[in-house]
Amino acid sequence: MGTEALSRPARPPAVQGKRTYRADLRIGVEAIRHNVAVLSGHARRSGARTMAVVKSGGYGHGAVTVARAALESGADCLGVASPDEAMQLRAAGITSPLLCWLYAHGEDFTPAVDADVQLSASSVAELRAIAAAAGHTGRTAAVHLKIDTGLGRNGCPEQLWPALVEAAAKAQSDGLVNIVGVWSHLANAETPGHASIDAQVEAFRRAHDLAVTTGLNPLRHIANSAALLTRPDLHFDLVRPGIAIYGLDPVPEHGDHGLRPAMTFRSSVALTKHVAGGEGVSYGYAWVAERPSNLALVPVGYADGVPRALSGQMSVWLRGQRRPMVGRICMDQLVVLCGDDTVAEGDEVVLFGPGDQGEPTATEWAEQLDTIHYEIVTGMHRSRVTRTNVGN
């Protein structure tokens, strides 16, 4: 190659006859709609409304897409962790009630109050900062007071709750805030029957009672997906499902809840080749062909969210069956063993999906990696990975 090859301007890519994917997350929007309808139906039967939790980019599915689909399918409002996430939904034109609850130290609440974003307060300091933002904007901030009933993360410790409620009642009478809710989060909802659940609920009721005796009239909410599915008595006024919206069941041993996984991760075969027996494949020769075999190269790797720890442990769905991935997963590519079968370049490869055809699922990846499906789907949206909504 002459050195001019290194400085020649790039040629545009060849037009392909067939649409193939390098690394694509296919989001089944109709599955999200179905799941939200199922979940909000359960809530409605208990007289509760539904907050769809779309934090962390809708658990990797796309916050705006999920938010719109959820609001069209039975969700009454939205929840996210940070004010930035809330502002992104507002910027996309979403006007529904929207709560956020986790802040950086010294967070400026002015943009959120100005955009009519509801804010959680876990301390008198947070409440004061929110009230100050309300003062600046001339608006009344809608606030949910969060009690830590035993999760030990954010939320106001029980011994500080009376002071928070007092301060809230004062700020409300000053017209700076409107106390919309009292809320909490469970530590062991995915273990139905865990003794901590009822202990947390008792503390929650005490906290709400104190707010009411102080003259406030807040809604109550404590149930995430697992509590929504297993404890109708904990629906209170509002439920906050996250993971179940995406079709991943946090309590599968509790029965089939009829949820449909919405995310499929797919690629397509970039290259096929044949190896002789005894040939090593991929870094370190962690796999050596025992006999002559056909291989398929799939152009996704750990940079695209395929965990390297699944090297030699995972399989993919290719030409109507599961086929084992062999050797090490690299940054950009992995190799699939096809034995004597012939597969074609361009064939679709499903790394995980709903499981309907027999393809691997995000839940299977999580089990192999000793983690939870939440982490798998939330970690999939990388810079080189496209996202395609279907059924929108």
Ligand X SMILES: *Cc1c(COP(=O)(O)O)cnc(C)c1O
Residues annotated as part of the active site: 55, 283
- Tell me, residue by residue from 246 to 265, as one string, x for binding to ligand X by CB under 6 A and - for no binding: ----x---------------
Q: Residue 383 and residue 197: Cα distance in Å, rounded?
A: 39
The single residue among 28, 83, 218, 242 that binds ligand X, judged by CB under 6 A, is 242
Sole window of 163-171, 203-211, 234-242, 259-267 interacting with ligand X (rule: CB under 6 A): 234-242
- Residue 125 CA, distance from chain mean position: 29
Sole window of 171-179, 237-245, 265-273, 379-387 interacting with ligand X (rule: CB under 6 A): 237-245
Whichever of 185 and 235 has its CB closer to ligand X, that residue is 185
User: Strand 348-352 vs strand 263-268: parallel, antiparallel, or unpaired?
Assistant: antiparallel
Whichever of 275 and 380 has its CB closer to ligand X, that residue is 380
Q: Quick one: which of 169, 154, 159 has its CA closest to 203?
A: 159
Handedness of CA 173, 175, 180, 185 (dihedral sign): negative
Q: Locate 341 and state its tokens.
A: 């079968």
Q: Which residue type sits at 273?
A: K
User: Is residue 185 near ligand X by the rule CB under 6 A?
Assistant: yes
User: Is residue 241 near ligand X by the rule CB under 6 A?
Assistant: yes
- Tell me, residue by residue from 97 to 136, as one string, x for binding to ligand X by CB under 6 A and - for no binding: ----x-----------------------------------
Q: Residue 223 and residue 42: Cα distance in Å, rounded?
A: 12
Q: Which residue type sits at 35?
A: N
Q: Residue 178 and residue 167: Cα distance in Å, rounded?
A: 12
Interacting residues with ligand X between 209 and 228 (CB under 6 A) = 224-226
Q: Residue 280 and residue 290: Cα distance in Å, rounded?
A: 9
User: Is residue 53 near ligand X by the rule CB under 6 A?
Assistant: yes
Sole window of 203-211, 240-248, 262-270, 283-291 interacting with ligand X (rule: CB under 6 A): 240-248
**Interface positions with ligand X (CB under 6 A):** 53, 55, 101, 185, 224-226, 240-244, 250
